[in-house]
Structure formats: C-alpha cells, structure tokens
Homo-oligomer: A and B are copies of this chain.
Amino acid sequence: MDFKQLFDFSRSTHTLASIERLLFWDQETMMPTQGIDIKTMQKKELAALIHHRKTSKEYEKLLSQFIALDSGEILNDQLNDDQKRSLELMREDYHKMKKLPVDFITEFAEVTSKATHVWIEARQNDDFELFAPHLSKIIDHMKKKADLLGYINHPYDPLLDEYEPQITTQTIDSLFDPLKKALIDLTQQLSHHSIPDQFLYGSFDRTAQFSLNTGILNNMGLDPKKVRLDQSAHPFCMPIHPTDIRLTTHVQDAGFYQGFSATMHEGGHGLYEQGLDPDFFGLPLAEAASIGIHESQSKLWETFIGQSFSFWKGYYPIVQETFKEQFENISLDSFFHAINAVRPSLIRIHADEVTYGLHVILRYEIEKAFMEGKLSVYELPEFWNAKMHEYLGIVPHTNAQGCMQDIHWASGLFGYFPTYALGNLYAAQLHHTMLAAFPDYNVRLENRDFKFIREWLLQQVHRHGRRYYPQQLIEKATKKKLAVDDFLSYLNKKYLPISARA
C-alpha cells in the first residue's frame, strides 16, 4: 500500500477543516448579521463530517497499515523520516480523539455553548452567581476529560498536553515559581513611575491606520498574495492554508497604537503559518508545533521587536509622517516610554510586558487548584482578588473586571492560559539567540530591515511544523533548555534603564 492513500485521506479531512476556519473568518468579518443561523448550521455540518472522518474505520484501517496503533511500531521500512514522524503524530492524535467519546464531546459542546452565552450576560451585569453553576459544570467536565485522556502524575497534565504537547504541570511549576518572584519584584520597582502617554489617544484616520498596518505586514515578510488583513471586533489570525492566511486587526479612531500592535501580533502568527510547508498540507508536519510556539511568534513581533527602541528608531518617522498633527512634537523617547509603561492593571489583555506573566500565573494556579479539588467555584472571586493583591497590589471592584474577564473558562479552555507565558519564554530564548547570531541586529531594525528575522524564524521554527515537540524545538533553535533566565534578563535589561531615565 502506498503512503499517498493515507496522505490523500488526511488531506481531504484537513481540507474540510480549512473550510471550517474560513467559515469562522467569514462570520467575524464579512457575514451579514442575520447570516448567523445558516453559519451555525454550516459549522455544525462540517464539524460532524470532520469528526466522522477522523474517527472512521476507514482512517483507522489506512493508518494501521503503516503504524501499529497499540505499540506505535512503524510497519513499513520503505518510509522516509518525514513519513515516519507524521505517522507517530497521527497515531497520537488518533488516540486522543478516540479517548473522548462522541457523547462527551457533544455534551461538552452544549455545556460550553450555554456557558458562553451566560458568561456574556453575567459579565455585563457583574453577576458571578449566574455564571458559577456553569463554571462548576465545566470544571466537572474537565475532570472527566482528564480521566478519559488519562494521566500519570497530575490531572492537569492531559489538559496542558492538548495545547502544549509534552509539557507537564511539574515543568510549568518549575518555570512559573521563579518567574513569579522575579516579576513581582520587577513590577514593584517599575510601577511607581508615571509616564505621560496622552498623545497616544485622540483622533486617527482609519484609512491611514489601515495602510500603516498593511505596510508593517509587508515589511515583516507577509506575502500580500497569500495574506489579507481585515477589521474585526477582536483581532485574530485564521490560517486557511500556508498560501491563504486571514488576519484581522481592530483599528479605532481613538488611537493608532493598539491596532498597530495587534497587527504585528497577528502578523507574527501569520508568518508562522506562511512558513509551514504547503507540500505537507494534510500531515502534522504542516501544522504549528503548539499554541505556545505560536504565541512565541506573535509575541516576538508584537513586543520583543515591536516595542523595542531600535524598531521605533526606524519606524517612528513613518508614524510621524502618517499622523503629523498628533506626533510632530512628540520625541522618539517620549513615544517609546509611553508604549512601554509598566503599570499593574486589572485586565490581562491590556497588561504590559512585565505584569502580563503575573495575570497568566494567577489563572494557572486557579486552574490547577480546581483540578486538584483544592478550590471550589464559590471561593473563586475571593481567591482571585487575594492573588491580584499579592502579585499586583491591586484588587478589582467587580468580578466582571476580575475572575469573569476572560472567555476561556466559559469556552472550556482549561490548560490554555499557560501557553501565553510559555510563548514569552520561548520568544525570549529565540530573541536572545538572534541577538547573538546577528551582531548588527539593532542596526538592521533601525533600517526597517526585518526580512532576516523572518528568514531565521522560518529555518529555526516555521518550516519544522510539528516535527519536534515544543521544548525540543526551542532547545534545537536556541541550544539551551527551556528556562526563565533569557526572559528575565531581557526584561531587566530593557526596563531598568527606562526606569532610571523616567
């Protein structure tokens, strides 16, 4: 039997999944509002087809002709390394898929759909009591999911593994403990400075913003023949295929920087997808290594590059040219300080580079406590507020601005939050390695030359797809085990001088 038969089958399934992603994109960007019902029907129809194919006897039969589904032994010695690695990962995915019965998936989809609906209302009215029973149900499902997927050491492990293969709760603990201490320290050192930033707000022409955003995407190396940028309520990157990537941003009249920064963030995701090998489309080798690795790519562009002094030395003149009135009297230094203000705040998605990690760690600790049965849903608000006070020195007045601010739990995304912090750790190691590899790194940035970064990331990260597990991939690219020190020295090196100057 020819490997191509299996490949074709898998490519068909992935092609259906690519349509599912297009439907999502359409819903968020283009769909007339009343199109929602047919869109829901379309998504349901496709989801059922995809699940059916992934768990079908036909697929099982095809797969098991090349790899023993129980032992993982490769059954065909004609295969090359790419094919062998693909088979290992396909077997892994297949097992994960089979471990969750259709009933569980259907029921869970209903529970989270209702919970998301209620969460919107509960957040609007700051009514935690309304949301609590739904969250409780979700946690029960999470425990059941962990049991179904199976684990050796910790029930949180299999949830983590969904988003960050082969990372364990133990590893996360060993990273987050020193990270937390250092971030709390740094936050305390930095946050008593007040930095003027009123010039970031005002009235900014949207068309001008859009061409600025398209411009930076082109400069980053996103190919306009493969990538488009639209407006949506929440920015996202929806990869249809390595040759068709849909990015969105959210430009607002009131300020250009948030939209610009979101565009760089999504552009980082987009470059990763653009760098996957289309010839492997349908195999795990053309999939991103993990959510955390994905986040490393977006964070690298959004913050490590897009909030660096060298970047703005090159790019600020363009912004000044575009928004003359707003910025002609604002110095590069003032601008740079304004976009890098460190300030404890209530909302994760608005947090700066330093405090962001603390928001994530707080959520991780809560999820872990839920899974260990050490925390009940009704204790959540108090627990949240106590941690906020401990880590950031502030406490939200409402649960809407506290433990109900994120959609993740309502959607059933447990084990996802840690990837945001891992993304920063990965990005820091990649950034550190690039600085060493390119002695003229900063000069290039000042000259708005970013193509070498794209090229380096392509070789070190993008083109590998899922060939290596996240930690392996980072170790291979940076010649060093995953740790927190590159991230911490990056923050110290960048922020202590800012603090001294401010």
Chain A 220-262: CB-based contact to B (< 8 A → 1; otherwise 0): 0001111110000000000011011100000000000000000
Within the complex, which residue of B22, B38, B45, B245 is in contact with A240, where a contact is CB–CB below 8 Å?
B38
Q: A22-B23, A26-B22, A49-B49 are in contact. Are A225 and B15 (CB under 8 A)?
A: no
Is A34 within 8 A of B240, CB to CB?
Answer: no
Known contacts A30-B228, A35-B226, A38-B243; 9 further A-B pairs (Cβ under 8 A): A15-B38, A19-B23, A19-B42, A19-B45, A22-B42, A32-B226, A32-B227, A35-B240, A38-B240
Is A45 within 8 A of B16, CB to CB?
Answer: yes
A31 beta carbon closer than 8 Å to chain B:
yes
Q: How far is the CA of A12 from the CA of B44 in the complex (A)?
A: 10
A37 beta carbon closer than 8 Å to chain B:
yes
A363 beta carbon closer than 8 Å to chain B:
no
Chain B residues near A226 (CB-CB < 8 A):
32, 34-35
Q: Interface extent on A, as a size class?
A: 35 or more
Chain B residues near A46 (CB-CB < 8 A):
19
Q: How far is the CA of A242 from the CA of B228 in the complex (A)?
A: 28
Between A and B, 5 residue pairs with Cβ closer than 8 Å are A12-B45, A15-B38, A34-B223, A35-B226, A38-B281
Chain B residues near A22 (CB-CB < 8 A):
22-23, 26, 42
Q: A15-B38, A38-B15, A45-B15 are in contact. Are A32 and B225 (CB under 8 A)?
A: yes
10 closest A-B pairs by CB: A35-B244, A38-B241, A34-B243, A34-B225, A15-B45, A34-B226, A33-B225, A15-B41, A32-B226, A19-B42
Q: How far is the CA of A351 from the CA of B68 in the complex (A)?
A: 67
Q: A16-B45, A38-B18, A42-B15 are in contact. Are A244 and B32 (CB under 8 A)?
A: yes
Q: How far is the CA of A37 from the CA of B241 in the complex (A)?
A: 10
Chain B residues near A32 (CB-CB < 8 A):
224-228, 243-245
- Chain A interface, DSSP helix/strand/loop, else mixed: helix
A39 beta carbon closer than 8 Å to chain B:
yes
Chain B residues near A15 (CB-CB < 8 A):
38, 41-42, 45
Q: How far is the CA of A226 from the CA of B31 in the complex (A)?
A: 8
Chain B residues near A244 (CB-CB < 8 A):
31-32, 34-35, 38-39
Chain A 272-289: CB-based contact to B (< 8 A → 1; otherwise 0): 000000100100000000
Select from chain B the residue with minimum beta-carbon distance to A16. B45
Residues of A38-92 contacting chain B, CB below 8 A: 38-39, 41-42, 45-46, 49
Chain B residues near A278 (CB-CB < 8 A):
37
Chain B residues near A12 (CB-CB < 8 A):
45
Q: How far is the CA of A281 from the CA of B224 in the complex (A)?
A: 38
Select from chain B the residue with minimum beta-carbon distance to A46. B19
Q: How far is the CA of A245 from the CA of B32 in the complex (A)?
A: 8
Chain A 7-19: CB-based contact to B (< 8 A → 1; otherwise 0): 0000110011011
Is B224 within 8 A of A35, CB to CB?
Answer: no
Q: How far is the CA of A224 from the CA of B228 in the complex (A)?
A: 24
Select from chain B the residue with minimum beta-carbon distance to A37. B243
Q: How far is the CA of A72 from the CA of B15 in the complex (A)?
A: 39
Residues of A197-227 contacting chain B, CB below 8 A: 223-227
Chain B residues near A33 (CB-CB < 8 A):
225
Chain B residues near A35 (CB-CB < 8 A):
226, 240-241, 243-244
Chain B residues near A19 (CB-CB < 8 A):
19, 23, 42, 45-46
Q: How far is the CA of A39 from the CA of B22 in the complex (A)?
A: 10
Q: How far is the CA of A281 from the CA of B39 in the complex (A)?
A: 13
Within the complex, which residue of B34, B42, B223 is in contact with A18, where a contact is CB–CB below 8 Å?
B42
Q: How far is the CA of A224 from the CA of B37 in the complex (A)?
A: 16
Chain B residues near A42 (CB-CB < 8 A):
15, 18-19, 22
Residues of A467-481 contacting chain B, CB below 8 A: none
Q: How far is the CA of A38 from the CA of B18 in the complex (A)?
A: 9
Select from chain B the residue with minimum beta-carbon distance to A20. B19
Select from chain B the residue with minimum beta-carbon distance to A241. B38
| A49 CB → nearest B CB, Å | 7
| A293 CB → nearest B CB, Å | 23
Q: How far is the CA of A189 from the CA of B388 in the complex (A)?
A: 87
